[in-house]
Amino acid sequence: MPSHPDAGDRTTSAFFNHSTAKRINTDAVIATALKQQYPNLELVIVPTYGANLLSFAAGGHATYTLIEPGPRDTEVPSKLVWKGYVPPARRIDGNLGVLAQDIYFGKFIYKWQDAEFILYLVDGRDGSAAWPTVRNSYLLTSDMHKADELILAAGRWTHELRDEVWVFDGGSWLKSAELYQSVMKSSWDAVILDPAMKKAIIRDHMSFFDSRDTYQKLKVPWKRGVIYYGPPGNGKTISIKAMMNTFYKRKDPIPAMYVRNFVSWMGPEAAVAMIFEKARANAPCYLIFEDLDSLVTDGVRSYFLNEIDGLKNNDGIFIVGSTNHLDRLDPGIAKRPSRFDRQYLFPDPSREERVAYCHFWQSKLADNNDIKFPDKLCDAIADITEDFSFAYIQEAFVAALLAIARIEDGGSDSDTDSNEEGWVLTKSRNDELSGLPLWVEIQKQVKILREGMERGKESTVS
């Protein structure tokens, strides 16, 4: 298979000549140049979003070698590669970042199994700057059957999840390993809810994916939607993550698909269509819309409702939407069964649930010998955190523990014997608690948080 034709690499010249002038259709220019340059080979154009051949090779399934310019390929560069610094995802891990390269144009010898191909990777952006980048692989072969097998294998690999979650963001579906790791750290043990409600949620979700035959016998669509609603900070997100974790650990894992926004260069209606098209392709699946009231605006509502309850088949799709403001949702979403069939309220925790949440923190601190945390302290903290969300109680614990740590390090944030008026709310509750640093500091933080809550209420009213 020739890699350097006598007349020089016309395709490379065509790309650079085209790219430095007014561009109309990169794909047509490259395809024409390749057919002229390689008249005896078959050409297959493979969009990288469907089958990423270089990533497939980088995963160990094939090999490729960049072809350097021949003696007559000197008028233009042989490749267009951006090399840059990629900062670490988390600087705290001590990672200093890496150098990475992004290939915008390159010519390769590509080997897979016993076959060899010529591969051009070409980046094209036709039209306005707002249009998306189109990156295609141009595969030249003398064995079209083998090329088809390669594309199938690379396509399956490209669309497989490997410890990742599908995330729709900015107009495309991306794979997020970071969200997957966060999900794997979430469990129902960390979700403090009314036991009956927690059991009902889990049963509702799990039974759906185990009941396909039942739905078919009843001749009803095998689809379901639920809404989690209530004030912020009371377990909606952690419940979704815990459910995702449960689904991934099934004998037949259920993929989760998380929607961050409806942003797309083609408009939000196109984004909604892309979201449901992908969900149908991956069904059975768990489709997640957080902050549903912010996502489904007036301009996209009709498209969203049509995708949920229109003519298309949504069998196997379990949709969960969450909102802090159920009243802001269109009645066609909030009050129409067959779109969202059930609503689960996540209210501010009751005293019993606040006690349970304090016991959760007690277990987290069990191996810390510097923090005394008797059972009575759970009841005491629950008593002074009425109307607090779980998020507010968590902030009280975190701030109190940080204050204690500063004191132990020689700081002067507070004094465990402090009797400053207004700080220690129940100093004389009993002798067992009065001298506990955690109790003293928790009371201080609760007072600060409650004052902030009251100011927030006043500003809302005014």
- 153 and 228 belong to one structural domain: no
Owning domain of residue 217: 175-345
pLDDT in tens, 31-51: 889 999 999 999 999 999 899
β-bridge mates for residue 175, sequence order:
166
The Cα 319–Cα 290 span in angstroms is 11
Examine the fold and report which residue of 282, 310, 345 is the final residue of a domain before the chain moves on: 345
Together in a domain, 320 and 190:
yes
Place of tokens 């991956």: 282
pTM of the shown model: 0.80
Residues 180 and 317 in one domain: yes
Are 67 and 187 contained in the same domain? no
Residues 103 and 54 in one domain: yes
- Is pLDDT above 60 for 353? yes
Whether the Cβ atoms of residue 106 and residue 121 lie closer than 8 Å to each other: yes
DSSP 8-state assignment for residue 231: S
Statement to judge: residues 156 and 233 lie in one domain? no
List of E strands, 37-156: 42-47, 63-66, 80-86, 98-112, 115-124, 134-141
CB proximity list for 456: less than 8 A, separation 6 or greater: none
Counting residues of the chain whose pLDDT is more than 70, the rounded percentage is 85
In this structure, the answer to whether residues 267 and 365 fall within a common structural domain is no
- pLDDT value for 69: 64
The verdict on 196 and 257 lying in the same domain is: yes
Confirm whether 110 is domain-assigned.
yes
Tell me what pLDDT residue 28 has: 83
How many domains does the chain divide into? 3
Q: Is 390 within 8 Å of 192 (Cβ atoms)? A: yes
The answer on 340 and 359 residing in a single domain is no
- Say yes or no: 307 and 191 in one domain: yes
Q: What is residue 58's DSSP assignment?
A: I
Peptide bond before residue 284 is cis, with ω within 30 degrees of 0:
yes
Cβ-based neighbours of 171, under 8 Å, separated by 6 or more: 132, 263, 264, 265, 266, 270, 271, 274
pLDDT in tens, 402-445: 999 888 776 655 444 444 444 444 444 456 787 899 999 999 99
Strand 98-112 with 63-66, pairing: antiparallel
- The CA radius of gyration of the chain, in Å to the nearest whole number, is 29
**Given 127, 160, 193, which residue is the final one in a domain?**
160
Q: What's the rounded Cα separation, in Å, for the pair 132 and 130? A: 6
Q: Is residue 5 a part of any domain in this protein?
A: no
Taking only the tens place, the pLDDT of each residue in 207-219 is: 999 999 999 999 9
Model pLDDT for residues 91-137, shown as the tens digit of each residue: 666 777 778 778 888 999 999 999 999 999 998 766 555 555 678 99
Both 194 and 338 in a single domain? Answer: yes
Domain boundary among 345, 363, 383: 345
